[in-house]
Amino acid sequence: MKRIIILAGAAMMLSACGNKEKEFDATGTFEATEVTVSAKSSGEIKQLTVDEGQQVGNGAVVGAIDAVQLKLKKQQLEATRSQLSANKRQLASSRNANDSRTLDLEKQLAAIRQQIANAQRERQRFSELVSDGAVPRKQLDDINYQIKVLEKQLAATNDQISSNNASLKNQSAGIGAQMDGVDAQGAGLEAQIRQIDDQIANTSIAAPITGTVLEKYVESGEFVTAGKPLFKIADTRNMFIRAYVTSAQLQNIRIGQKAKVFADFGNGQQREYEGRVSWISSQSEFTPKTILTDDERADLVYAVKVAIRNDGLAKIGMYGKVKFQ
């Protein structure tokens, strides 16, 4: 009878243990978005002010690569640009002078025409006076002679204007071609200057994200080539735990689903964080040896990421647990 009671008690204890809700659904390790900052330009590192463990803000300038030669090249290009601008002003001045010369000839032509008109009116008046015998014939002859002189001047000025226009047309075409050439050279110089500006900007070393410097690979004074890693930075404020679940668990997990995340500090010490599922793998993989799943017999699992807002205590690589809500 005593044996029956003991067995019954053991069965109740096993039943109670079997009905107890499990403490977590998946386990994994904490990760963060890591960025390796590389040199965008070749040259000597003049300054690099980051240290491992240092917090830096997004866009903060933390160093510089030697840019003396690039700046000298830019000065040379700017001097050439100034000379081209001076050449263009000189060509424009020549074109304006030609236009002014043409305008002066047109004014002379108008003045001669006005003089001829005035002389013709005088001739008409003197013709009447000569007919009446009021003035001698010689005065009318003088006016006729003056009109002939003015007409010759008019014809000569017209010829001069025609010749000048033909010459100016050729000169204008030449000046226009030269100005087009100057404009083309100027456009090429502007492109080179923008290129140099971009290269100079690339000598500045800046943090691409807000985060913590994990590793530093070079020091001030070292020569680097473009593409050489300088330091690694990680966003340790917005971290996530990469956990693995079975296909049976996967059907109950959705993007945006809330979860409890526990950072394991060892010796039974852990810290709880509010989490949210931010990513679910669409491809299965074999169970990693370091991962324990709810179903030990499952060979294939799916990775999920649960994002948390870190308070500075959770570290990259730290072991953790996830309880989906």
Instruction: Tell me what pLDDT residue 21 has.
Output: 58
The segment with the largest mean pLDDT, out of 137-141, 152-156, 200-204, is 200-204
What would the pLDDT profile of 15-45 be if each residue is shown by its tens digit? 444 444 568 899 999 999 999 999 999 999 9
Query: Which of 8 and 146 is assigned the larger pLDDT?
Result: 146
Reported as half-sphere exposure (CB side, CA atoms, 13 A), residue 265 has a value of 6
Higher pLDDT among residues 321 and 121, named by residue: 321
Q: Rg of the Cα trace of the chain?
A: 47
Contact 291, 319 (CB under 8 A): no
Residue 293's pLDDT band (cuts 50, 70, 90) = low
Residue for token digits 């649960």? Answer: 306
Average pLDDT value over all residues in the chain: 83
Residue 219, pLDDT > 50, answer yes
- State yes or no: pLDDT of 267 exceeds 70: yes
Give me the mean pLDDT over the 314-323 stretch.
94
What letter represents residue 159's amino acid? D
Question: Which tokens sit at 173?
Answer: 């075409």
Whether the predicted pLDDT of 91 surpasses 90: no
pLDDT at 169: 65
Spatial distance between the Cα atoms of 323 and 262, rounded to a whole number of angstroms: 8
pLDDT of residue 108: 78
Residue 126 CB neighbours (<10 A): 20
Q: Is the pLDDT of residue 165 over 80?
A: no
Q: What is the pLDDT of residue 118?
A: 83
> How is residue 320 written in tokens?
């953790």
The least confident of 104-118, 188-202, 269-283, 310-324 is: 104-118
Range with lowest mean pLDDT among 27-41, 240-254, 293-307: 293-307
Chain centroid to Cα 252, Å, comes to 44
User: Which pLDDT score, from 0 to 100, does residue 115 have?
Assistant: 83
Q: Is the pLDDT of residue 135 over 80?
A: no
pLDDT for the residue 276: 97
Mean pLDDT of 83-110: 76
Secondary structure string (H, E, C) spanning 263-296: EEEECCEEEEEEEEEEEECCCCEECCCCCCCCCC
At residue 319 the predicted structure's pLDDT band, cuts being 50, 70 and 90, is very high
Q: Using H for helix, E for strand and C for coil, what is the string for the chain?
A: CHHHHHHHHHHHHHHHHHHCCCCCCEEEEEEEEEEEEECCCCEEEEEECCCCCCEECCCCEEEEECCHHHHHHHHHHHHHHHHHHHHHHHHHHHHHHHHHHHHHHHHHHHHHHHHHHHHHHHHHHHHHHHHHCCCCHHHHHHHHHHHHHHHHHHHHHHHHHHHHHHHHHHHHHHHHHHHHHHHHHHHHHHHHHHHHHHHHHCCEEECCCCEEEEEECCCCCCEECCCCEEEEEEEEEEEEEEEEECHHHHCCCCCCCEEEEEEEEECCEEEEEEEEEEEECCCCEECCCCCCCCCCCCCEEEEEEEEEECCCCCCCCCEEEEEEC
Above 50 in pLDDT, residue 14?
Answer: no
What pLDDT shows up at residue 146? 84
What are residue 305's DSSP bridge partners? 242, 279
pLDDT value for 277 = 96
Task: Report the pLDDT value the prediction gives residue 18, as an integer from 0 to 100.
Answer: 44
Give 262 or 8, the one with higher predicted confidence: 262
Output the six-digit token pair for 235: 């966003």
The amino acid present at 171, given as its one-letter code, is: Q
d(CA 218, CA 160): 77
Looking at residue 203, its pLDDT comes to: 96
| 298, pLDDT greater than 90 | no
Q: C-alpha angle with apex 194: 87 to 83, nearest 5 degrees? A: 15
Closest of 153, 146, 64 to residue 112, by C-alpha: 153
pLDDT of residue 263: 95
